[in-house]
Structure 1
Amino acid sequence: MDELKKVTGRKSSFGASMKAVFWSFFGIRKRSDYENDSASLNPVHVIIAGLIGVAIFIGVLLLLVRVAVAQ
C-alpha cells in the first residue's frame, strides 16, 4: 500500500503528462526523456491525459472524414 501512495504522490504537472502522451502518440521520444518521465509522472495523470488524447484524436479523424465525404 505504501508503494501505491509513493507512485501516485509523484510531483509532476498535468501539462507534463499531456506533453508525454502527445509525443508518445507520434512515437518520438528520447530515451532520457522517457526515463525522466517514468520517474516523475503521476500514473493517474498519464491515464487521464491518454483518454483526453484519444478523444481528441477520434474527434479529428471524424472531422476529416466528414470533410472528405461532404466534397
Structure 2
Amino acid sequence: MPGFYDTSGAYLGEGRWTYHLDEAHHEEQGGHPDEHAAFRVAVPDRFAGKAASAAIGVPVLVNE
C-alpha cells in the first residue's frame, strides 16, 4: 500500500495493489519459501502531476 507525497513532503493519499496466492499452482518445497512478486503501483489519476515520492507498506497475513 503506497502513500503518495508532494514535493514539500505533504501526504496526498494512498493507492493499492493486492496479491492473492493461487494455491492451485503452489508447490510446497523444503527449506525457505521463495514467494516473491514483482509489482508496480501506478500513481492514481487524482495525484497525477502532484506526487513526487511514495512510501510502501506491505501488510502480510499468514494463516497457519
- Same structural fold, with TM-score higher than 0.5 when normalized by the shorter chain: no
Richer in strand (by share) = 2
Q: Which has the higher contact order (CA 8 A, sep 6+)?
A: 2
Richer in helix (by share) = 1
TM-score by length of 2: 0.29
